[in-house]
Chains A and B, each alone.
Chain A
Amino acid sequence: DQQVKQNSPSLSVQEGRISILNCDYTNSMFDYFLWYKKYPAEGPTFLISISSIKDKNEDGRFTVFLNKSAKHLSLHIVPSQPGDSAVYFCAASTTGTASKLTFGTGTRLQVTL
């Protein structure tokens, strides 16, 4: 049972435009959400996170939105740059579970010139 889902395996966006990556979850106990970025042949690197007490967190070009009632979060990248081309993983965690993360299947973002 996939508790964290990323239904779009891939996304292509022009440079300068907005990239929107989506993530849905089923476990209502999740209270902390993270986005990781992964380049080929490298480990995932942390990008941005949000606690369930917030509905928005912004860091430079990256903003994460959380809609708890819909069990949905999204990552917005504005403006998109060619260096943003990577696989993005959504992850979720629950308080008291040794900070274990449940990952989505990832979305491959390609930013074209």
Chain B
Amino acid sequence: NAGVTQTPKFRVLKTGQSMTLLCAQDMNHEYMYWYRQDPGMGLRLIHYSVGEGTTAKGEVPDGYNVSRLKKQNFLLGLESAAPSQTSVYFCATNRTPGGYNEQFFGPGTRLTVL
């Protein structure tokens, strides 16, 4: 089992370009999350999904869109990249609630916007 995988691992964009980050999980988890990590800021939630076909905004959603067409995939889109979106992006998953469960993280995508 691969767990949580992220594609790509690294990417450099120019301001105004668009791209999609892919998160895939083989753990059959219902909940999926996108975070960004910036120096001195910890991890901040961008968007999340509580199941296939659902999405919701997190703490810092502006400039990003997401889709969860399949249970195992959660896509994060940047329509017009800005230098402020230079960050490391992490995807995470969680089992269906019914108890307290930890989130499982992917290895991250390092994005630089010039």
A residues contacting B by CB (< 8 A) are 4, 6, 9, 32, 34, 36, 41-46, 49, 51, 89, 93, 98-106
Contact = CB atoms under 8 A, between A and B. Distances in A.
Given A98-B31, A100-B48, 15 more contacts: A9-B40, A43-B90, A43-B107, A46-B102, A46-B104, A49-B102, A98-B56, A98-B97, A99-B103, A101-B33, A103-B35, A103-B42, A103-B44, A105-B40, A105-B41
A106 B39 CA distance: 10
Contact of B103 (A42, A46, A106): A46
B46 to A, nearest CB: 11
B100 A51 contact: yes
11 contacts: A36-B105, A43-B4, A43-B90, A43-B92, A43-B105, A43-B106, A43-B108, A99-B97, A99-B100, A101-B103, A104-B42
Nearest to A101: B103
Interface residues of B, number: 27
Main secondary structure of the interface of B (DSSP, over half): strand
A52 to B, nearest CB: 10
Contacts of B106: 43
Interface of B: 4, 31, 33, 35, 40-45, 48, 50, 56, 58, 90, 92, 94, 97, 100-108
A43 B4 CA distance: 10
A83 to B, nearest CB: 19
A44 B31 contact: no
The 7 closest A-B pairs by CB, nearest first: A43-B105, A46-B102, A103-B42, A103-B43, A105-B42, A32-B100, A44-B105
Nearest to A45: B105
A98 B102 contact: no
A83 B7 CA distance: 28
Contacts of B107: 41-43
